[in-house]
């Protein structure tokens, strides 16, 4: 049986190992994010905590219907507000950012659904008021109740290395539609994509998997 002195000597090693494992998980497997807005309702609710799978994006496998987290591609979000607070609390937050429990506030993130991938022609809207991809109408059962597919008309072709994204709550999402004048013409470079949302982990009442959906095969 180990004595207390032996355990105390091993404790720093165990802490280091735990941090290394956490960093590896954050870097290559899973990262957790907080949902601050209602742009993805009802799929994701404000204050949900979601798990993001980073593995598929090592090979850049991004599909229509995926719900993805990505870094702000070109000032889609305002500058983050950082207030002077408790220094000790700030250090704790920095530690949580380092191990992936909290996202890095210096790298602003968004979450949207992938509507178009490279080569797709995405258009709004058909005579029956549906989005069209490559000339085919698509069904979108995930759209927030009462919303139309889009009140903004557009007709774009997604270039290589980019995706076209939209929020499920179309009336409350400043997505690709509203950034067509920026350097990426509303597209999100795949290099900015962190990973795919696979599930809601908190609060418990919202716990569950978040699947991909695409009516266009």
Residues marked active site are found at 39, 112
CA atoms of 77 and 111, how far apart (whole Å)? 12
**Cα gap 178→201, rounded to integer Å:** 30
DSSP H or E stretch at residue 33: strand 30-34
Strand partners, 199: 51, 209
Burial of 175-188, coded b for 16+ CB within 10 Å and e otherwise, reads bbbebeeeebebbb
Burial of 32 by CB count in 10 Å (0-12 exposed, 13-18 middle, 19+ buried)?
Answer: middle
């Amino acid at each position: 049986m180990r004595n207390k002195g032996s355990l105390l000597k091993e404790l720093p090693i165990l802490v280091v190992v735990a941090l290394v494992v956490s960093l590896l998980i954050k870097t290559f497997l899973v990262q957790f994010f907080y949902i601050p807005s209602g742009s993805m309702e009802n799929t994701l609710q404000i204050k949900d905590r979601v798990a993001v799978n980073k593995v598929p994006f090592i090979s850049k496998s991004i599909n229509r219907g995926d719900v993805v987290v990505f870094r702000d591609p070109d000032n889609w979000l305002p500058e983050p507000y950082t207030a002077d607070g408790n220094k000790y609390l700030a250090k704790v937050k920095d530690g949580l950012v380092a191990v992936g429990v909290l996202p890095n506030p210096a790298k602003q993130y968004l979450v949207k659904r992938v509507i178009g991938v490279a080569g797709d022609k995405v258009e709004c809207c058909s005579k029956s008021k549906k989005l069209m991809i490559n000339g085919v109408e698509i069904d979108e059962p995930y759209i927030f109740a009462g919303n139309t597919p889009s009140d903004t008309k557009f007709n774009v072709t997604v270039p290589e290395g980019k995706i076209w994204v939209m929020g499920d709550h179309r009336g409350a999402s400043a997505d690709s539609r509203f950034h067509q004048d920026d350097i990426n013409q509303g597209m999100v470079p795949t290099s900015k994509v962190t990973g795919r949302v696979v599930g809601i982990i908190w609060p418990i009442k919202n716990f569950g998997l978040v699947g991909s959906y695409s009516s266009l095969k």
